[in-house]
């Protein structure tokens, strides 16, 4: 009886997933089950006898997609953006060669629909940087526990002093197969798997074939790999919320170096950047010995500087030679537009880069909640509700949070250091495919636009996990 019910449910799920035949292929150590279309499988069998050149060509087609994304992202934002823009990311012809037409398609997880991909890239600043995130941010992630965070912190900190529930090298030395821990920054998200308490389910979630879609076997509980909770939603694991590759360049929207208001600055440069009155106010604060912690401090700020009234030649040391005098001025930065200007043009450190800020324009609600704290759940709702309607100019800095009354001045200053409005590194997932042969290659790359010339920071071949979606759909579409 039970058995029949399972069968009925399975048939239903399969219908829902479309005309798809499932084949079990042992691909990775995790023995992943993948979905493959009948047509594609037949084509693949034919193609399997073809020369290896075919494989090289599908790899080249996919890598062309990586370079294509790098090229697009190096230019000013195009109309349609980079989040979901089929015109520039779906079914792009690379070449016709060896009797086949080679295409690539760049795709990513679709927040609105886990049964359809979006055509675009993913800004890694939309995630939390595992190397710089404070404990409370990590603990606020739904899947994290204080014990896991203790072990993660021990793994990344340079010392050998274990946290209360953590594990340092000594623990790993006692494993059947001991290994050295990083005791420094993680270099790939996969390294999480080396940390005590972390496992594939936690890191990868239910998306066993990495196709960003909820496949039937990922929504049937323990009936098939992976073991999922069959709740009709795709849990994408910590890798969807964490990154090891995000950093910001301290440059303005025109890619010019920001001015460090705690360093030595040229008055005329400062004036040109933020206007005379704001420049004068900053100089007044600096003369008073003020050290800024973030440019947002200038919003609605007032500052009292102590000056001496000695007025002239040096007096002899002694009582009554001069009386202290104070002067209070208030900052001209009061509107969202003047705030946007100082956020764009100014910084508070001489470092060329900064780390750890999350992009308020692209982060998921879960990430924003973890970063801003559960006390700010209303703020997160308002951010998500408003940001889709912003034009690129408005979303160029985080000042829109203040301008749209999402937060008042004081709350803004508290959250501003944790947020940014722009990413410099992107994750690209791309399939390169031959329309006639059905040969394909899937690559995952992280590209970095903050270096002098754009570069690939990370590249992985995901082809072994199977075809991400039925290729005949692509074939039909491209054939139109
Ligand atoms: Ca350590
Ligand atoms: Ca999947
Ligand atoms: Ca399953
Ligand atoms: Ca689920």
Q: List pLDDT tens digits, range 294-310.
A: 999 999 999 999 876 55
Placement of tokens 């629909």 in the chain: 113
Mean local confidence (pLDDT), 80-92: 93
Identify which ligand lies nearest to the alpha carbon of 233. Answer: 4
Would the pLDDT of 15 be above 70?
A: no
pLDDT digits (tens, 9 = 90+) for 168-197: 999 999 999 999 999 999 999 999 999 999
**Residue that wins the pLDDT comparison between 303 and 45:** 303
Of 243-252, 315-324, 366-375, the least confident: 315-324
178 CA distance to ligand 1 middle (Å): 16
Predicted local confidence at residue 321, as pLDDT: 56
The closest alpha carbon to 399, from 365, 361, 348, 368, belongs to 361
Predicted local confidence at residue 221, as pLDDT: 94
222 CA distance to ligand 2 middle (Å): 15
Predicted local confidence at residue 322, as pLDDT: 65
Predicted local confidence at residue 320, as pLDDT: 52
177 CA distance to ligand 1 middle (Å): 19
Give the CA distances from residue 384 to residues 139, 238, 390, in Å, rounded to whole numbers and listed in that order. Answer: 22, 21, 11
Expressed in angstroms, the distance from the first to the final Cα of the chain is 47
Query: Is 62 exposed, middle or buried (CB count within 10 Å of its CB: 0-12, 13-18, 19+)?
Result: buried
Would the pLDDT of 425 be above 70?
A: yes
Find out whether 445 and 461 touch, Cβ atoms under 8 Å.
Answer: no
Predicted local confidence at residue 49, as pLDDT: 41
* Tokens representing residue 233 in the block: 């939603």
196 CA distance to ligand 2 middle (Å): 26
368 CA distance to ligand 2 middle (Å): 25
209 CA distance to ligand 2 middle (Å): 5
Predicted local confidence at residue 472, as pLDDT: 74
221 CA distance to ligand 4 middle (Å): 8
Find out whether 418 and 357 touch, Cβ atoms under 8 Å.
Answer: yes
Q: Please list, in sequence order, all residues whose beta carbon lies within 8 angstroms of the beta carbon of residue 134, skipping any fewer than 6 positions away.
A: none
158 CA distance to ligand 1 middle (Å): 5
154 CA distance to ligand 1 middle (Å): 4
Predicted local confidence at residue 310, as pLDDT: 52
Q: Which of 96-100, 405-409, 415-419 has the highest mean pLDDT?
A: 415-419
Would the pLDDT of 79 be above 60?
A: yes
Identify which ligand lies nearest to the alpha carbon of 221. Answer: 3
Predicted local confidence at residue 80, as pLDDT: 85
Distance separating alpha carbons of residues 275 and 345, to the nearest angstrom = 11
> For 474, which DSSP code?
H
Find out whether 102 and 433 touch, Cβ atoms under 8 Å.
Answer: yes
Predicted local confidence at residue 55, as pLDDT: 76
Mean local confidence (pLDDT), 210-232: 94
* Tokens representing residue 227 in the block: 């073991």
161 CA distance to ligand 2 middle (Å): 39
Query: Partners of 50 in the beta sheet?
Result: none
Of 228-242, 279-293, 310-324, 437-451, the least confident: 310-324
Would the pLDDT of 24 be above 90?
A: no
**Residue that wins the pLDDT comparison between 227 and 473:** 227
**β-pair type (425-434, 33-36):** unpaired
54 CA distance to ligand 1 middle (Å): 46
Identify which ligand lies nearest to the alpha carbon of 462. Answer: 2
Residues lining ion ligand 1 (Cβ < 5 A) are 154, 157, 183
Identify which ligand lies nearest to the alpha carbon of 467. Answer: 2
Would the pLDDT of 137 be above 70?
A: yes
Identify which ligand lies nearest to the alpha carbon of 232. Answer: 4
Predicted local confidence at residue 158, as pLDDT: 97
458 CA distance to ligand 4 middle (Å): 28
Distance separating alpha carbons of residues 283 and 278, to the nearest angstrom = 9
Distance separating alpha carbons of residues 111 and 349, to the nearest angstrom = 36
Q: Please list, in sequence order, all residues whose beta carbon lies within 8 angstroms of the beta carbon of residue 276, skipping any fewer than 6 positions away.
A: none
Would the pLDDT of 259 be above 90?
A: yes
Predicted local confidence at residue 319, as pLDDT: 54
Residue 343: count other Cβ atoms within 10 Å of its Cβ. 26
434 CA distance to ligand 2 middle (Å): 22
Q: Which of 41-55, 321-335, 412-426 has the highest mean pLDDT?
A: 412-426
393 CA distance to ligand 4 middle (Å): 38
366 CA distance to ligand 2 middle (Å): 20
Would the pLDDT of 27 be above 60?
A: no
147 CA distance to ligand 1 middle (Å): 15
Predicted local confidence at residue 392, as pLDDT: 86
Identify which ligand lies nearest to the alpha carbon of 150. Answer: 1
207 CA distance to ligand 3 middle (Å): 10
Sign of CA dihedral 15, 19, 21, 26: negative
Predicted local confidence at residue 323, as pLDDT: 73
pLDDT digits (tens, 9 = 90+) for 356-402: 999 999 999 999 999 999 999 999 999 999 998 898 889 999 999 99
130 CA distance to ligand 2 middle (Å): 24
Predicted local confidence at residue 51, as pLDDT: 38
Give the CA distances from residue 33 to residues 22, 26, 417, in Å, rounded to whole numbers and listed in that order. Answer: 8, 7, 43
Backbone angles phi, psi at 119, to 5 degrees: -105, 95
What SS3 state is found at 2?
A: helix
Identify which ligand lies nearest to the alpha carbon of 10. Answer: 3
Identify which ligand lies nearest to the alpha carbon of 157. Answer: 1
Give the CA distances from residue 379 to residues 8, 135, 375, 402, in Å, rounded to whole numbers and listed in that order. Answer: 44, 21, 9, 11
Predicted local confidence at residue 16, as pLDDT: 36
- CATH 2.160.20: does it fit domain 129-245? no
Q: What are the DSSP calls for 310-340, one per residue? A: --SSPPPSSTTS--EEEEEEE-S--SHHHHH
Identify which ligand lies nearest to the alpha carbon of 226. Answer: 3
Distance separating alpha carbons of residues 250 and 480, to the nearest angstrom = 46
pLDDT digits (tens, 9 = 90+) for 108-129: 999 888 889 999 999 999 999 9
The CA angle 125-129-348, to the nearest 5 degrees, is 75
Find out whether 118 and 80 touch, Cβ atoms under 8 Å.
Answer: no
Identify which ligand lies nearest to the alpha carbon of 235. Answer: 4
**β-pair type (419-420, 358-359):** parallel
Distance separating alpha carbons of residues 466 and 447, to the nearest angstrom = 23
Of 25-29, 229-233, 292-296, the least confident: 25-29
* Tokens representing residue 460 in the block: 């992985």
233 CA distance to ligand 4 middle (Å): 4
Identify which ligand lies nearest to the alpha carbon of 13. Answer: 3
27 CA distance to ligand 2 middle (Å): 15
215 CA distance to ligand 2 middle (Å): 5
**Domain parsing of the chain, residue ranges:** 2-125+424-479, 129-245, 248-307+323-358+367-417
The alpha carbon of 15 is separated from its chain's Cα centroid by a whole number of angstroms, namely: 34
Predicted local confidence at residue 20, as pLDDT: 28
Q: What are the DSSP calls for 124-160, one per residue? A: GGGSEETTT--HHHHHTSTT--HHHHHHHHHHHSSS-
411 CA distance to ligand 4 middle (Å): 35
208 CA distance to ligand 2 middle (Å): 6
**β-pair type (122-123, 425-434):** antiparallel
**Residue that wins the pLDDT comparison between 93 and 36:** 93
Average of per-residue pLDDT values in the chain = 86
Query: Is 150 exposed, middle or buried (CB count within 10 Å of its CB: 0-12, 13-18, 19+)?
Result: buried
Identify which ligand lies nearest to the alpha carbon of 237. Answer: 4
228 CA distance to ligand 4 middle (Å): 6
């Amino acid at each position: 009886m039970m058995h029949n019910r399972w069968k009925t449910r399975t048939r239903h799920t399969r219908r829902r997933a479309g005309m798809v035949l499932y084949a079990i292929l042992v691909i990775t150590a995790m023995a992943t089950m993948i979905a493959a279309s009948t047509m594609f499988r037949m084509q693949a069998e034919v193609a399997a006898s073809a020369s290896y050149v075919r494989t090289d060509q599908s790899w080249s087609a996919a890598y062309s997609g990586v370079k294509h994304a790098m090229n697009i992202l190096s230019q000013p934002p195009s109309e349609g953006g980079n989040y979901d823009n089929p015109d520039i990311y779906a079914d792009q012809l690379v070449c016709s060669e060896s009797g086949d037409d080679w295409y690539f398609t760049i795709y990513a997880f679709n927040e609105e629909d886990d049964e359809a991909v979006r055509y675009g890239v993913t800004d890694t600043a939309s995630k939390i940087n595992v190397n710089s995130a404070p404990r409370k941010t990590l603990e606020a992630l739904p899947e994290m526990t204080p014990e896991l965070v203790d072990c993660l912190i021990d793994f990344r900190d340079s010392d050998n002093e274990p946290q209360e529930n953590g594990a340092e090298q000594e623990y790993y030395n006692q494993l059947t197969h001991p290994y050295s821990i990083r005791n420094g920054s993680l270099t790939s998200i996969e390294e999480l798997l080396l940390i005590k308490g972390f496992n594939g389910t936690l890191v990868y979630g239910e998306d066993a074939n990495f196709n960003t879609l909820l496949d039937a076997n990922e929504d049937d509980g323990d009936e098939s790999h992976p073991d999922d909770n069959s709740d009709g939603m795709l849990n994408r694991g910590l890798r969807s919320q964490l990154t090891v590759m995000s950093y910001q360049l301290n440059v303005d929207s025109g890619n010019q170096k920001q001015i460090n208001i705690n360093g030595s600055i040229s008055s005329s440069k400062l004036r040109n950047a933020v206007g005379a009155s704001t420049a004068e106010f900053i100089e007044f604060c600096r003369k008073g010995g003020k050290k800024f912690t973030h440019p947002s401090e200038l919003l609605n700020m007032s500052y009292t500087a102590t000056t001496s009234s000695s007025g002239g030649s040096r007096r002899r040391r002694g009582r009554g030679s001069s009386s202290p005098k104070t002067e209070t001025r208030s900052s001209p930065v009061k509107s969202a537009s003047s705030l946007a200007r100082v956020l764009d043009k100014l910084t508070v450190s001489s470092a060329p880069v900064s780390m750890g800020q999350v992009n308020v324009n692209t982060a998921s609600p879960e990430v924003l909640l973890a970063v801003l704290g559960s006390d700010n759940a209303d703020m997160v709702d308002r951010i998500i509700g408003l940001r889709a309607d912003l034009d690129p100019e408005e979303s160029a800095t985080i000042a829109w949070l203040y301008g749209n009354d999402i937060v008042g001045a004081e709350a803004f200053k508290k959250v501003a250091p944790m947020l940014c409005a722009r990413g410099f590194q992107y994750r690209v997932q791309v399939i390169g495919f031959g329309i006639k042969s059905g040969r394909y290659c899937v690559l995952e790359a992280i590209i970095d636009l903050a270096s002098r010339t754009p570069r690939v920071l990370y590249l992985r071949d995901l082809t072994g996990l199977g075809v991400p979606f039925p290729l005949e759909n692509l074939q039909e579409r491209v054939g139109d």
